[in-house]
Amino acid sequence: MIPDIPQLDDAALAAVLRGRIDGKTKPLGALGRLEALAAQIGSILGTETPRLEQPQLVVFAADHGLAAQGVSAYPSDVTWQMVENFLAGGAAVSVLARQHGLNLTVVDAGVRHEFAERAGLLVRKIGPGTSDALLGAAMTQGQCTEAILAGREVVRSLPGNALLLGEMGIGNTSAAALLLARLAGHPIELCTGRGTGLDDAGMQRKLGVLRRVLARHPEAGTPLQALAAFGGFEIAMMCGATLQAALERRVVVVDGFIASSAVLVAARLQPAVLSRCIFAHCSDEAGHALMLRTLGATPLLNLGLRLGEGSGAALAWPLLESACRILREMASFESAGVSRESKPSMEAPDAP
């Protein structure tokens, strides 16, 4: 169920990429973060002239039993309503996917609603939402396995060499916070944010619920146990999708707090997945900055987003395209006939 993900350790290619970037007509390092991004994409795709092809933005959607405890500002029905909105083309992620030519697929990983079949929707329902994690495990270990395998299969069925991870699920910031707290050992109050916009009282209520959920599952210590106890079907499926994409050496673009929690689980299972992951942004959801630090990740954008859906991944996408084009299309000092740096400047004269 969990594939072995090898490290990317082609030192020769890394050196070629570094040399190629440094030879471009610009001062050394002057393209900042874009240079590291170009080197990473080249390493993932195994080429000094990377080209991103048929990028797939996949939004995994599911409901959460824990939502019954009032941990969200929105009712659970919003999950299926937003799935309809994604498919109708009216959600933020629909608009952004159109803008950037990203193929958008919505996966029903476990929404409490029966959708009519249509293009762009994959029904891979593990169940009608998870169980309430305050009363028992959110899912059985069997469901967890099933969801991971479904996530792998979804990626396998899609073309291209880049996967953008998105999600929808009322209540899923709670699941992500629980996973971060348990798997990284951080205090739950540092992992928990306002989600879709809880007020102070709602936030206290959410924190109280999450503390009780953690106390309810003291035994859930391994990544897969924690995923079953606290996770959501969409999170487990994103975990599987990340593993499969990493195995196939696709570029994985990670959206916000929830998508990062799936990558956290995947990375605890197979650390080398992280070398394939590009973290699109640091969201405004409290806990995401801590999550990124825990993962050793440097996000590309910092725009105060807190929407999910893959919207941040879509917004960061053109930067990945730019990084590839710089590698492929920019002239070198030699090809353009541009002079290199002058001799190092004079040393400060010694006092006589």
Residues in region 2-41 near its own copies by CB under 8 A: 24-34
Provide, rounded to whole angstroms, the least separation between the CB of residue 192 and its own copies. 14
Provide, rounded to whole angstroms, the least separation between the CB of residue 63 and its own copies. 14
- Give the range of 6-14, 45-53, 241-249, 311-319 binding its own copies by CB under 8 A: 311-319
Nearer to its own copies, 4 or 347 (CB): 347
- Rounded CA gap, 165 and 167, in Å? 7
Structure tokens at 211: 């503390």
Provide, rounded to whole angstroms, the least separation between the CB of residue 198 and its own copies. 7
**Does residue 120 interact with its own copies by CB under 8 A?**
no
Task: Identify the active-site residue in 153, 189, 309, 321.
Answer: 309
- DSSP 3-state assignment of 110? strand
Other CB atoms within 10 A of residue 185 CB: 8
- Rounded CA gap, 41 and 159, in Å? 17
Provide, rounded to whole angstroms, the least separation between the CB of residue 243 and its own copies. 29
Nearer to its own copies, 25 or 225 (CB): 25
**What residues from 177 to 236 belong to the interface with its own copies (CB under 8 A)?**
196-199, 201-202, 204-205
- Rounded CA gap, 310 and 166, in Å? 4
**Does residue 1 interact with its own copies by CB under 8 A?**
no
- Give the range of 104-112, 134-142, 245-253, 344-352 binding its own copies by CB under 8 A: 344-352
CA-nearest of 100, 163, 155, 166 to 319 is 100
- Give the range of 109-117, 160-168, 286-294, 330-338 binding its own copies by CB under 8 A: 330-338
**Does residue 350 interact with its own copies by CB under 8 A?**
no
Nearer to its own copies, 9 or 114 (CB): 114
Provide, rounded to whole angstroms, the least separation between the CB of residue 137 and its own copies. 26
Residue 123: enclosing H or E segment and its boundaries? strand 121-123
**What residues from 78 to 107 belong to the interface with its own copies (CB under 8 A)?**
78, 81-82, 84-85, 88-92, 95-96, 98-100
Nearer to its own copies, 13 or 34 (CB): 34
**Does residue 136 interact with its own copies by CB under 8 A?**
no
Q: Is 347 a catalytic residue?
A: no
**Does residue 116 interact with its own copies by CB under 8 A?**
no
**Does residue 297 interact with its own copies by CB under 8 A?**
no
Nearer to its own copies, 28 or 123 (CB): 28
Nearer to its own copies, 185 or 304 (CB): 304
Active centre residues (catalytic): 309
